[in-house]
């Protein structure tokens, strides 16, 4: 389809525009569905997909470099063990230089050069970077911000998801790309768009679609008014068209129920846009796999819902860019969340940090080159069957000139290249051992998208951070060598012994019943402050706090103290722990007191409790302790209540994780520090790379990795 024109494009375009936008925004597509494409694979095997090779790759932009350089790049990639590239996710204007005129000849040549060196590709659908000609012809495709101002051309992903001109253009480019590459053996599949999930949508298309979405959800306007409590401030609606988008109000306040439904609408609209592209790809190129690259702890979209249309999850990992978290437990949690978003299936990293991250106005931190190998092994240890570094060569142009790739702009084979080439040799040897293994865990962390959104709408205190709570509890079990899964409310909890659900703020009746069954059947549930406060509509409960969880936790909360600066001390088993953010003052109603407060008018009052319920137990922590020691103690207590053992505490800066298949476990020991570390394992093992016997005392060099084979090993 080089320089071709899709026949009839202009004839059908205008007939297609508005109905398509409304179908994506409201779910009308479900009422009159198109021919249903093949569903995603139930258990997609990434290594088999890549012809029996572990996916080891780089994000490559041949369009930005002289064609005479491509051959040298491919040779160097092959020498480094690279067998995979992602191409084209920002190349819309190269693929469609003018409306309806498509040119893939340049990409064909790049794929041919790469394939000659054993390198296959995933192609991005280039919708994250609409071309200037599209904005010039249809300026309203640009998104409108909260203040009602339309963005200008010059960034990326600044489109309106429901603009009919943009949707028509999306259909045209995705159709052309799928048709052209459906039978190309060098193309393994497609990545839809790039880092879906923004910007939020505030134009008139979005408002009309939001109103239609609400009508489908509530059916009757009086049901919506009742659910949202619109009697407050006299905000009762008398027509669906009166309902606004949550933006640009005096004092910046909106009805929290409206805002939460808007977050759900936006997440679902993003999912429908992905579904829209996926249907085209599956209809035309059913043999090709489909994914999209995601952002770990990013929360504007519910990834567990988004990923229903794709074959495998993939995400972009930059440990040195997000400085709020530790260099290893933060990325570890994000890996596990991405795995959990696809119900525990193995995933890949589509963008793995390969150098200093830096945009025009903000920077990450520079890492020791050997850490790029450690982080890649961390991804594998947490269930990745593929790692793709961003990017092959640092850009000479635009916003990301300071975001280093494997090579810098001068193409010199630097230390980063040598580290990555070393790992390329290693993963080739490890592939037979990795293939077929999975992460097994008996402990899970429950992530509630509704609660995350509700806290954004009405922040608890200025120093509250939902993700920080997730990481603190997660890290406590990881320090004790336990694998941890991440689960979402609609998923199955029954295979876990311990479930940690921090600040389960907006909880539906169905989720409360599900957690009650989990505990009654023998599970141990950990709840924390501000749980059970709101219902599914983001409306405050009429029950005594913690609302639907009061009987389960065996407590009542009649008073609480939100704190922005003042600290507290909690006393537990003879030890004192500093705490902050929020203090629920607990009244036991059958629960046993675990910890008490040390200061203020509620000194001596319970701060944490344990309640036996059915065959299980509930631990409620009414505050946010600020030291690892507390979380370590709590993890041991929860595990003991569940009848599972935890391992000895790891040295700071060292991580242990495992994958297993029948009769064998792969144990990963990772040293993120610049000094040697000593780790003791429970039994001698074989080094998976050398075949030699090691242990039980393991010496890890600075930034060192050990991959060990343990025969006949059990659980997670």
Residues near 24 by Cβ (< 8 Å), separated by ≥ 6? Answer: 161, 162, 167, 209, 269, 272, 273, 276
Which of 96, 195, 353, 655 does the annotation list as catalytic?
195
CA dist 715 and 483 (Å) reads 9
Cβ neighbours of 452 (radius 10 Å): 20
* N residues, the chain: 716
The three-state secondary structure class of 392 is coil
Backbone φ and ψ of 142, nearest 5°: -70, 140
The distance from CA 87 to its chain's CA centroid, rounded to whole angstroms, is 22
Which of 96, 177, 294, 351 does the annotation list as catalytic?
351
DSSP secondary structure, 176-196, as one string? HHHHHHTT-TTEEEEE-SSS-
Contact of 688 with 433, CB cutoff 8 Å: yes
Output the CA angle 289-294-299, nearest 5 degrees. 140
Query: Where are any strands of DSSP class E within 512-605?
Result: 524-528, 555-562, 568-572, 575-588, 592-597
DSSP secondary structure, 653-710, as one string? TEEEEEEEETTEEEEEEEE-SSS-EEEE-SS-EEETTT--EE-SEEEEPTT-EEEEEE
Which of these, 287, 282, 313, 103, lies nearest to 196 by C-alpha position? 313
Contact of 351 with 403, CB cutoff 8 Å: no
Residues near 126 by Cβ (< 8 Å), separated by ≥ 6? Answer: 88, 89, 90, 91, 92, 95, 173, 177
**Side-chain half-sphere of 563: how many Cα atoms within 13 Å?**
20
For 421-424, which contacts have Cβ atoms below 8 Å and span 24 or more sequence positions? 421/79, 421/80, 421/81, 422/373, 423/56, 423/81, 423/373, 423/376, 423/377, 424/56, 424/80, 424/81, 424/82
Contact of 536 with 506, CB cutoff 8 Å: yes
- DSSP H or E stretch at residue 472: helix 466-479
Q: What is the largest CA-CA distance in the chain?
A: 78
Its sign, for the CA torsion 151, 154, 159, 165, is: positive
Which of these, 715, 707, 709, 706, lies nearest to 665 by C-alpha position? 709
CA dist 84 and 81 (Å) reads 9
Residues near 272 by Cβ (< 8 Å), separated by ≥ 6? Answer: 23, 24, 25, 27, 29
Which of these, 30, 3, 94, 700, lies nearest to 373 by C-alpha position? 700
Contact of 668 with 380, CB cutoff 8 Å: yes
In the annotation, is 179 catalytic?
A: no
Question: 462: buried, middle or exposed (CB in 10 Å: 19+, 13-18, 0-12)?
Answer: exposed
CA dist 72 and 287 (Å) reads 31
CA dist 16 and 6 (Å) reads 15
Quote the radius of gyration of the chain (alpha carbons, Å): 26
Write the DSSP symbol of residue 36. P
In the annotation, is 351 catalytic?
A: yes
Which of these, 311, 271, 317, 312, lies nearest to 298 by C-alpha position? 317
Which of these, 139, 163, 140, 143, lies nearest to 151 by C-alpha position? 143
Q: Catalogue the active-site residues.
A: 195, 351
């Amino acid at each position: 389809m080089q320089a071709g024109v899709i026949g009839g494009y202009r004839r059908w375009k205008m007939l297609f525009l508005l109905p398509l936008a409304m179908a994506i925004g409201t779910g009308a597509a479900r009422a009159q569905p198109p021919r249903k494409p093949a569903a995603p694979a139930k258990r997609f095997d990434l290594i088999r997909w890549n012809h029996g090779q572990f996916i080891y790759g780089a994000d490559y932009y041949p369009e930005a470099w002289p064609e005479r350089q491509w051959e040298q790049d491919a040779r160097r990639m092959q020498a480094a063990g690279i067998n995979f590239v992602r191409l084209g996710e920002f190349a819309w204007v190269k693929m469609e230089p003018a409306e309806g005129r498509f040119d893939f000849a340049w990409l064909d040549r790049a794929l041919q050069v790469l394939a000659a060196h054993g390198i296959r590709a995933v192609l991005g659908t280039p919708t994250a970077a609409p071309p200037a000609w599209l904005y010039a012809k249809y300026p309203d495709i640009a998104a409108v911000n909260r203040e009602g101002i339309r963005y200008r051309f010059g960034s990326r992903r600044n489109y309106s998801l429901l603009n009919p001109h943009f949707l028509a253009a999306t259909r045209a480019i995705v159709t052309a790309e799928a048709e052209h590459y459906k039978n190309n053996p060098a193309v393994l599949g497609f990545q839809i768009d790039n880092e879906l999930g923004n910007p939020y949508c505030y134009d008139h298309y979005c408002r009309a679609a939001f109103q239609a979405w609400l009508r489908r959800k509530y059916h009757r306007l009086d049901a919506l008014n009742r659910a949202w409590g619109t009697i407050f401030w006299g905000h009762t609606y008398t027509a669906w068209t009166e309902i606004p988008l949550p933006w640009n109000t005096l004092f910046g306040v909106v009805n929290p129920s409206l805002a939460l439904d808007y977050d759900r609408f936006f997440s679902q609209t993003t999912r429908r846009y992905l579904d829209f592209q996926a249907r085209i790809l599956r209809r035309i190129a059913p043999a090709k796999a489909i994914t999209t690259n995601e952002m770990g702890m990013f929360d504007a979209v519910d990834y567990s819902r988004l990923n229903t249309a794709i074959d495998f999850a993939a995400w972009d990992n930059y440990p040195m860019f997000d400085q709020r978290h530790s260099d290893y437990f933060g990325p570890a949690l994000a890996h596990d969340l991405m795995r959990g978003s696809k119900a525990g299936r193995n995933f890949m990293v589509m963008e793995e940090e390969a150098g200093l991250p830096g945009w025009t106005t903000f920077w990450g931190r520079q890492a020791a080159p050997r850490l790029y190998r450690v982080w890649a092994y961390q991804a594998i240890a947490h269930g990745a069957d593929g790692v793709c570094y961003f990017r092959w060569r640092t850009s000479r142009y635009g916003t990301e000139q300071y975001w280093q790739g494997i090579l810098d702009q001068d193409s010199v084979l630097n230390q980063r290249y040598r580290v990555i080439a070393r790992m390329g040799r290693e993963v080739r040897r490890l592939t037979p051992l990795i293939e077929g293994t999975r992460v097994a865990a008996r402990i899970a962390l429950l992530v509630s998208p509704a609660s995350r959104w509700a806290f954004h709408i009405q922040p608890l205190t200025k120093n509250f951070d939902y993700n920080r709570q997730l990481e603190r509890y997660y890290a406590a079990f990881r320090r004790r060598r336990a694998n941890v899964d991440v689960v979402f409310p609609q998923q199955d909890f029954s295979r876990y012994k311990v479930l940690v659900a921090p600040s389960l703020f907006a909880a539906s009746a169905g989720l409360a019943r599900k957690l009650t069954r989990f505990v009654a059947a023998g599970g141990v549930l950990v709840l924390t402050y501000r749980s059970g406060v709101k219902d599914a509509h983001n409306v405050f409960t009429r029950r005594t706090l913690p609302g639907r969880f009061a009987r389960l936790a065996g407590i009542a909360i009649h008073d609480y103290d939100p704190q922005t600066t003042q600290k507290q001390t909690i006393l537990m088993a003879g030890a004192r722990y500093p705490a902050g953010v929020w203090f629920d003052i607990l009244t036991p109603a059958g629960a046993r007191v675990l910890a008490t407060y040390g200061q203020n008018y509620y000194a001596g009052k319970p701060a944490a409790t344990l309640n036996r319920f059915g065959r299980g137990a509930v631990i409620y922590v009414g505050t946010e302790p600020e030291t690892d020691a507390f979380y370590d103690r709590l993890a041991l207590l929860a595990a003991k209540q569940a009848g599972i053992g935890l391992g000895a505490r790891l040295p700071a800066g060292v991580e242990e994780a495992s994958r297993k298949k029948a009769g064998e476990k792969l144990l990963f020991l990772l040293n993120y520090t610049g000094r040697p570390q000593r780790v003791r394992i429970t039994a001698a093992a074989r080094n998976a790379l050398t075949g030699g016997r090691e242990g039980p005392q393991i010496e890890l060099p600075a930034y060192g990795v050990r991959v060990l084979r343990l025969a006949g090993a059990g659980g997670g």
